[in-house]
A and B are shown apart, each in its own frame.
Chain A
Amino acid sequence: MAGIGIDAPGTTELLIGNEAIARGALEAGIGFAAAYPGTPSTEIMESLASVAKKMNFYAEWSVNEKVALESAAGASFAGIRAIAAMKQNGVSVASDFLANIVMSGIGAGLVLVCCDDPSAISSSNEQDTRNIAKWLDIPLLEPGTFQEAKDMTKWAFDLAEELDTICIIRSVTRIAHARGNVKLGELPRKEHKAHFDNICPVAPTLTKFIPYPSAWLHQQLHVKLDKAREVFESSPFNWYTGPEEAELLIITCGSCWLYSLEAVKTLNLENKVGILKLGTIWPLPQKLIEKHLSKSPKILVVEEIDPFLEGSIKEMIADLPPASPHPTFYGKHSGHINAYGELNPNMVIGATARIMDITYESRPAEYSKKAAEIPFTYMPLRIMTFCPGCPHRATFWAIKNALRLDGRDGFVTGDIGCYSMAIGPAGFFQERTMYCMGAGAGVANGLGKLAQFGFNQPVLAVCGDSTFFHATIPALINGVYNHSNFTLVILDNSATAMTGFQPHPGTGITAMGETTRVVDIEDLCHSLGVQVDVCDPFDLENATATLLKMIAENGGPRVVIMRRECELVRARREKKPLYKVHVDPDKCLGEACGCNRLCTSAFSCPGLIWDKDAGKAKIDEVICAGCGICADICPQEAIIKEAV
């Protein structure tokens, strides 16, 4: 990450896409950056925050994406170029503000970077942000290379100022997290000067930053978009490669452009197939596209997730004069390209070969079969799990035991974070609903009001500490206000662990590494008048008893804070385990009645292994984090922990 602040114009650095975007923002002279972590967007803020102090701008981890975007807008309104970065889910969180800011103008350049996650590799959905740009009339650019990621970001600030509206950079995982050469540009040496202009040139009683009258402003927005379209017609981010008259035209954008290039090359179709690569995605450069549509009888649209280009281009064709050529379209509607998940070169090769009536076998069928079988022969079977030493494993063990003991068929509503693993064996299948940030408590609010319909199952909502600040507080307040019967379990591991230990309001550290006032979760809950208990999840007995007590209560929400630092954060700081753990094979009952290897079959910490030959449990010394919790699980006291 050191690379992004290098003041050496013209030199080439190997950057991941997110760093290239951050560098672009630096070259654009931003004074303000705000983000909420979320894969695959996180490194944008991490790299910006790492140079912010030195480069004299401000960077923050905001409490959520909506506040991040609003903060950035605030800076923009006062004449400071600002960037907000987030993943696709975050854009939904910020969308209310987004839908309103488009109705006004901006101050200095304001850019929203959104990293989409095709195949939802690190997400709970694969929402396509391009649709939001169309929905809310926002100019959107999408880089297809790492150089473009930087250059486009830099240009997006100029564009935003020229159009007087917020602009979006959309990226996907394979751009965000892959690495490529980026030729650096100049870093501006401008002093930032912030001032909020109280006077609106058109209506003296208003400022520019009040979206009123909305309908008129909506019309103005369309004028801005028309202007953007005009600019995009000649944008260097759109280009065509291939023969003058192509048998097949591939229209593509983003990382799919590279897959398309590879497909055409692999099939030796350079003389027959052309590729129109688009970088300005919304509004689409209509004239440019129409020009290419007329030169090819067949069009294949290669894009990830939704048929955004495909649909938008088809709309364009409906407006063409009746005599215009009407090419045949291939893509997601025709079934040639998946309308879900990531693409890869093979998929594009397959689609292209089918359209061009070419037989192509990427590898012999026998080889493919063998390749598919090999992983299951040699690779150990691994499931999604909590890290060794993770406090969440103990928390969900206590939750499971408490719910079973309570015996009223209670269950957990959850959301996204490390603790989402609790939908599977790592968390003993305890999490039974899993939606967006804060939804565990939100859903619990409804369930907690169903007593009049005969509902008496205990409801436990879980959220992480960062998620608590992000989106759970309103749900908790709603529960207090409406007297909803649920228990909120806050899994406080003192970090935004899922995305890489970013600090949050409960940690007392800012993105720029400065100490700050700690927002105390316990105090905050107390101020709402709810009953709050704090437990160490590693004190399983107390944690289970506390949960049981809270579950048994009736009335409004109760809060249990399960507080234990993320083991990875602790280990990074202290550089040594808490305990040295080993199994006494003489005491271990193994599979015999009385234990039936509870530690490796039920508790299943990856640091525990089952020695099949010996019929005993063992500690995997490489993986064991030395947390010692398994010693409390073992019914035989065969797992021994010694303080280090």
Chain B
Amino acid sequence: MDMKVKGSKELLTEVIDTGLCTLCGACAGSCPYLVSYKGRIVLLDNCTLSEGQCYQYCPRTYTDMDAISQQVLGMPYSSAELGITKEVLMARSTDANIKGRAQYGGTVTAILSLALEEGLVDGAILTRMSDDKTPSAFLARSRKEILQGAGSNYMACPVLEVLNHIPKDSTERMGVVAMPCQVLALSKMRNEPPQNRINIGNVKLVVGLFCTWALSLNGFHQFLLENLDLPRVIKFDIPPPPANRFDAYTSSGKISFPLDEIRKFIMPACTYCLDMTSEFADISVGSVEGIEGWNTVIVRTDVGADLMKMAKKKGKLEVNTLPPGNLAHLKEASLLKKKRALKEIIAKSGDRKNLLYVGLQESIIDNLLA
């Protein structure tokens, strides 16, 4: 494993060209050379620097998991299935307006709105669906704008490019809703703050999403175009197992596709991802298997805990215990993702000692591979 920070040239050869890029957007927009465009990271001009932030903060270049964990969560990387947690519970928004638009329980929208109301953040970076049903990241500064971010379309979106565009001298405090790869990139930034561009200290809240995989824009959007009247689509959903379906809700009803038809559009990079539950976020949010209209919520940091407490107190969230069966199942799924990813990584590198980007203690690796 090469632990050295390198430049954009190596970012291309080691990450992008090898199918490791998750399209998180951490490399894009922080300089004029790298941008994202229609589901790809594009190098517009050749940058000659031998070390760059693009390579440094990429979640698929070498990452010292202990150092990151120490910085964000105050202790080294945990071998627990769900990472370091303060509390795992289930929640849903009490706001009918939010619930009507949300993917599941509307928890993310509710806590972001609260963070904004309470002045914890001045804005939040989220993803919304454009009219053509492609995802686009944006900076929401009002409750109304935050609501636009509700719902998912399962496509990878370079959210962190928007963050990189915020001027360094901005004093706006930010929340970010991020996928596990994006949470990892943010954590790398928090661990070694970028010098020339964004002020990472302004990121006050990271809400991580659960993620099994994301779909690549190019193939999947073409699939949608060919199979659906996109302007009429209201919402997409992949219900928890054992549904094994991809559902599109349109103005004239639900259209379902077998999940296997969709799987071919999974980002190749997702195969090598260990993290299902955004282990370095302040709060991680996902669905609850078998209980519709609720979210699983993992509280990881003090910031996350305070916000949850306030949400409960102000009646923004209805909170409940996650049934033990669900918790067990969640852990099992999370562990499975780690094991599978590690095996894929070793298969790719061809060397058990070379885990590409994963900097973990031998003992943890041995446990996961056992």
Contact = CB atoms under 8 A, between A and B. Distances in A.
Our verdict on whether A and B bind, yes or no, reads yes
Interface of A: 400-401, 404-405, 407, 428, 589, 591-596, 598, 601-602, 633, 635
A400 B31 contact: no
Interface string B43-87: 111111101110000000000000000000000000000000000
B339 interface: no
Given A405-B42, A407-B40, A407-B42, A593 B32 contact: no
Contacts of A400: 44-45
Given A589-B196, A601-B48, A602-B45, A595 B40 contact: no
Contacts of B141: none
A602 B44 CA distance: 10
A428 B44 CA distance: 11
Contacts of A404: 42-44
* The 7 nearest A-B residue pairs measured at CB: A594-B196, A635-B32, A602-B45, A405-B37, A593-B52, A594-B31, A594-B197
B47 to A, nearest CB: 5
Of the listed residues B42, B45, B51, B195, the one surrounded by the most CB atoms of chain A closer than 10 A to its CB is B45
Contacts of A591: 49
B12 interface: no
A596 B42 contact: no
A275 to B, nearest CB: 55
A401 B32 CA distance: 11
Contacts of A589: 196
Nearest to A595: B31
A601 B31 CA distance: 14
Given A405-B35, A598-B32, A593 B51 contact: yes
A598 B37 CA distance: 20
B185 to A, nearest CB: 16
A594 B46 CA distance: 13
B33 interface: yes
A56 to B, nearest CB: 57
A595 B31 CA distance: 6
Given A400-B44, A404-B42, A601-B48, A592 B35 contact: no
Contacts of B197: 594
Of the listed residues A593, A595, A635, the one surrounded by the most CB atoms of chain B closer than 10 A to its CB is A593
A612 to B, nearest CB: 15
B32 A595 contact: yes
A592 B43 CA distance: 17
Contacts of A595: 31-32, 196
A15 B241 CA distance: 91
Interface residues of B, number: 22
Given A405-B35, A405-B37, A407-B37, A594 B30 contact: yes
A428 B37 CA distance: 20
Interface of B: 30-33, 35, 37-38, 40, 42-49, 51-53, 195-197
A596 B31 contact: yes
B37 A593 contact: no
A427 to B, nearest CB: 13
23 contacts: A400-B44, A400-B45, A401-B44, A404-B42, A404-B44, A405-B35, A405-B37, A405-B42, A407-B37, A428-B45, A591-B49, A592-B195, A592-B196, A593-B31, A593-B49, A593-B51, A593-B196, A594-B30, A594-B31, A594-B53, A595-B31, A598-B33, A602-B45
**Chain A interface, >50% SS class:** loop
Contacts of A633: 32
Contact of A635 (B31, B51, B52): B31
Contacts of B33: 596, 598
Nearest to A635: B32
Nearest to A428: B45
Nearest to B5: A593
Contacts of B35: 405
A598 B32 CA distance: 8
Contacts of A598: 32-33, 45
A404 B46 CA distance: 11
B49 A596 contact: yes
A423 B44 CA distance: 17
Given A428-B45, A593-B52, A598-B32, 11 more contacts: A400-B45, A404-B44, A405-B38, A593-B49, A595-B31, A596-B31, A596-B33, A596-B49, A598-B33, A602-B46, A635-B31
Nearest to A548: B37
A148 B33 CA distance: 58
Of the listed residues B32, B37, B196, the one surrounded by the most CB atoms of chain A closer than 10 A to its CB is B32
A401 B43 CA distance: 9
A589 B31 CA distance: 11
Nearest to A637: B167
Contacts of B53: 593-594
Of the listed residues B35, B40, B43, B44, the one surrounded by the most CB atoms of chain A closer than 10 A to its CB is B44
A192 B252 CA distance: 83
A428 B47 CA distance: 14
Nearest to A591: B49
A592 B38 CA distance: 28
A428 B46 CA distance: 11
A596 B40 CA distance: 22
A404 B35 CA distance: 10
Contacts of B43: 404
Contacts of A601: 48
Nearest to B36: A405
Contacts of B48: 596, 601
B162 to A, nearest CB: 15
A385 to B, nearest CB: 17
A405 B39 CA distance: 10
A197 to B, nearest CB: 65
A595 B196 CA distance: 9
B257 to A, nearest CB: 27
Contacts of B45: 400, 428, 598, 602
Nearest to A594: B196
A401 B97 CA distance: 42
A592 to B, nearest CB: 5
Contacts of A592: 195-196
A593 B5 CA distance: 12
B9 to A, nearest CB: 12
A595 B40 CA distance: 21
A595 B29 CA distance: 11
Contacts of B32: 595, 598, 633, 635
B301 to A, nearest CB: 29
Contacts of B42: 404-405, 407
Contacts of B52: 593
